[in-house]
Every structure is written in C-alpha cells, then in structure tokens.
Homo-oligomer: A and B are copies of this chain.
Amino acid sequence: MQDQYVPEVAQLKTCEEKVAWARAQRDAGLNKVEPKLQGIPDELPKSSQGLPKTVLTAREIEITENYSVTQLLDVLKERKISVEEVTRAFLRRAALAQAAASSASICPHAGKGMELTTNCVTHLLWDEAIARAKYLDSLPEPEGMLFGLPISTKEHHGMRGDNVTTNASLVAWIGKKHGSNLLYDSLWDQGCVFYVRTTQPQTIMHLETVSVVYGRTVNPYNRDLSPGGSSGGESALIGMRGSLLGVGGDIGGSVRCPAAHVGIYAFKPTLKRISVMGARGLMIGKEAITSTPGPMTVDRDALELFMKAALESKPWLTDPSLTFKPWTPFRFIQQLKVAIMWWDGVVKPHPPMTRALKEVAEACKKAGMEVVDWDAESLHHETSWELLTQLYWPDGGEEALGLMEEGGESVLPLSKFILQEHPQIKNLSQHELWEVCRRRDEYRAEYARAWTNTKGEDGREVDVIICPPSFGAAPPHDQSRYWGYTSHWNLLDYPGAIFPVTTVSPEKDPVETGYVPKNEEDRFVYEMYNPEKYKDMPVTLQIIGRRSHDEKVLAALKEIELAMGRDSGSRVEDPVHIIAKN
C-alpha cells in the first residue's frame, strides 16, 4: 500500500503534470474555505503580519490571537468555545498564509510562491478537520491533553486518513500513498485536530524552503527573506499565527532554524525520545545521523506540553528504538550555571545576535546565575561539519539525486550545495563510513569531556549553553549555507530549545566595520549583513543541554525567561510580535 501511487497520478508522465496535480490537490482544499477570504490586497505587502486584521473576522482574530496554547486548551476543555469554531478560525488563517494577491491570476493558488502570502501550505484538510472537530464536540466529556487543539504538520511526516498521499517535496513521490505515523497517532489520541500540512524543501535538507513541487516559501515578516528550513512551512504558518503549535523535524537545524527566523519557540529533543516511525524520508534505515520530530510553537509552555503528549502513550512499546522514559519534568534547586557561546570559532554571528546574547547574559547575571564563556574555538566546531556532510550522504547523494532524476526535476541551488559541493561527499564503503562514525564518537567524547571540565571548585558543571541558533536573523533566499550553529548539536545529539529575544535594529546593530573574516565562510556571512535588510526581523537564541538532558533544557529555558522578566510561558501581550521588547 505504502509503495503505491493513486491511479490518476500513475498516468502522469512529466514533471509539470505531476506538479500541477500536487498543486491542484492543495488548491482543492483551499477552495473549500468558507467563507471565502476577502480583502487580500492587489499587491502583497513585504510583511504579511498586517493581513489577518484586514481579512479575518474579529472573532477569528480573537480566537487565533488572544490565547496562548494552554489558554486555548483551557477554554476548549471548559467548552467555552467549540472545537469547530476554533478549527474553522485556524483553517481560515492558514488559508490566508497561502492566499494569493488578488492581482495574481484567476487561479488564486497556482503561483510560484512569491506571489503568495507565504506559500507554506501543501494540504488544507478542510473536510477532515471539521469532521474531527464535530466529533470532538460531540463527546460527552473532553478527552486528552490536546483536546480540540488544531495542530499543523510537516508534509513528509504523513497524515492520518484513507486517501493520504505524501511527496516529501519530491516530484517522483507526488501522488504516493502514505498513511499516518506513530507520533501523529499519539497526538491524535490526545484529542488534537489536524488541519493543515506544510511545505519542506527539495531533499528536506535545506535551511530554507523551496522545491519544484511547491515553489518557494517566504518569511511572514519579510517576503524577501527566508522562513528557514527544512520545516519552513511550519515557521511561515506559525509566524503568521495560522497555527499555534506545529510539528517539524530536525537533522541539522530543521526545527530550530525556521523557528529562529520567525521568532517563535521550538525544541529539538535528543534522538529517540520522539518517534520517526512511519514518516516518509530519504535513506530509511540509515543510522549514522538521524532526524527527530520536534514542536514549533508561539508559547514556551507548549514545548513541554507537546513532549508530555507525545510520550503519554508510551510510544517505546510500539517503536522499540525509542528511549524508555516518560517525560520527567526537571526543577532546578539552585541558580543556574550558564555558558555563553559568543561564536562557534568558525563564523562570527551578525551584530543583532551578539547583542541578544549580551542582553540575555546580563539578565541571567542580574538574576543571580553564574555566567561563564563557552570556548568553542578550542573545540574545533569545523570538525562536526566535515563529519556531518559525510554522515548525511554516505551514498554520495545517490538516492536523492536518483529520485530527482526520476521525477524529472532540476537540482535546486541549495540541493547542489548540500549534496554536491562538499569534496568529502561520496558513496562510501562500509569501512569508510565506520571510520567517520568512529571519528564522530571520538568527537562526541571530546565534547563531553569539555563539558565535564566546566566543573568549578564547587564541583558544579555548566547546566546549559546559550548560543545563537544561526549566524543571524532570517537571511535572503538561497543564502543559508552555514549550518554550524544548529547542525553541530545534531552531530552531538544534544537537545536544543529556541526562544525569541529581540528584533533587528539598525540603530543598535550597525555593521561591525573593520572586522577581518577568519575564513571564506566567515567572509560570506559577514558580507551578508546590512541592518536595513533585516530591520525588525526576529532574533532568537538557543539553549543547549547535554545529550538526554531534554527536561533540563526546558527547565532552563523557563528560568532564563524568568530572568528576562517573562513571568509566564503563556504570554499573549502582543500576539503577532511575541518578541520581547527588553
């Protein structure tokens, strides 16, 4: 069943025909939106943040903006609002994230991406979501810790349902049948509503979101900039509050980078906490480096809620590769010891990122935390990238390139970059791969020693590292070529959380003139910066813990936000711009 195509697609020959079918399938869902979206401007503004207020009803704005995830769950549980009303509001807001300028064309959703609000949707599950909402409303008592919550999902993970197809943004897989996965079944069992599936890039291996199938997804704060990737459909959607909680996947930054680029929260757990069983992807069976799903959300508290909900059903009994451990909240009994990683020793972050680090470090100190520096330079972060490129593609990219050829699609620039522009990428023999794995393990041990060696005279080691999630705010399209600030933690399998800190300010964040780049990558990134280009874009930071210390990372996030003066994980002071103003 999983290896079959829907009959109508099996007939199609060309790439163009298949792409048209995929987009028509998407549009069929969008065209069900009722009432139709009205008031889209002739020409789309650079930022999509103002659109909801001109297109959605006041009630829809209230439902989608006035509640945090936990607050919305509360009113749903109390049945103050019906699941159906909530679901319809988010369906309409998600459709808005995909809406075309009214000048675009007679077929409003056929654009190549740039003419759409953010172009983040692959499937709008109108009928399915409303049916689910009605069912939940019909229950005598609300059931499950996600009762009635609309959750958005990354397309390649699959979806519950009888007629589901999943293409993972590969033309060759358009129309390929594919069912649910263990994680989504777990969330479903907790009462959620699935209502929209979102874009990912070709190969699912860009920190950017562009594919032949769906075109380019753009940042909801600035369409000239990237929403990040590979879960960039989620970030674009959640960045427009078209979803409060979505599911991405992360093997090199694919949950954290897009979250960072739209200023929301995200969490990449340690591998094997959350199952990937049932998701569609490349190189199934490869073990050298693997991905993990993770939550992306507007609220801090929703990260832990997601983890609890995902683990509530004891998924390790179904996917025996998982760690046998329920979610076990961590509480600090003394002030944190945090390390600030100002840069990774390879690429200097842009000025707003450095300012964000300073602001947070200062807040931590004021709150009484011990704040030390993390010396990444002595830890040779460049090693991890060299190892990762081989671990990502131990077949030299054979499967990915073969599928692109099979689909008749062109190899996009960032696919070329990640697949073909690294000299060490080749079809490895078993022995060659084992040698890379041996070096990986050695590097992991070296890093663990460095962490242990942070123990001071009081025997206390660093609790978490605070570091940039990227070299800067969301970059222009096709410029995401330096993964080190996220992928490094994938190599180490350390959990990482993203949280919003500030926005880019041309006044506060001028170009660092006179800086002499350390290497070619550093130069490329340095020359990319110009504060006007990134004005008002969200700036986030990342909190990293030792492997398996997932609960500790989320506890540290809370402590650090408290130090920043955020007393609640469910803030809705400024629902669209959730960025702190400090």
Contacts and interface: CB of A to CB of B under 8 A. Distances in A.
Contacts of A435: 285
A162 to B, nearest CB: 22
Contacts of A511: none
A434 interface: yes
A451 B548 CA distance: 27
Given A277-B445, A325-B325, A434 B320 contact: no
Contacts of A283: 434
B285 A287 contact: no
Interface string A345-374: 000000000000000000000000000000
Given A320-B448, A449-B318, A438 B548 contact: no
B320 A547 contact: yes
Contacts of A398: 431
Given A288-B287, A431-B398, A316 B452 contact: no
Given A285-B433, A430-B394, A547 B324 contact: yes
B395 A431 contact: yes
A250 B277 CA distance: 27
A582 interface: no
A22 B555 CA distance: 55
Given A427-B430, A433-B430, A548-B324, A445 B318 contact: yes
A319 interface: yes
A438 B317 contact: no
A546 interface: yes
B320 A492 contact: yes
A428 B437 CA distance: 17
A464 to B, nearest CB: 15
A438 B287 contact: no
A25 interface: no
Given A320-B492, A546-B320, A547-B320, A285 B445 contact: no
A380 interface: no
Contact of A318 (B287, B438, B448): B448
13 contacts: A277-B445, A283-B434, A284-B434, A286-B437, A317-B451, A317-B546, A318-B445, A319-B448, A320-B444, A320-B547, A323-B548, A325-B325, A395-B431
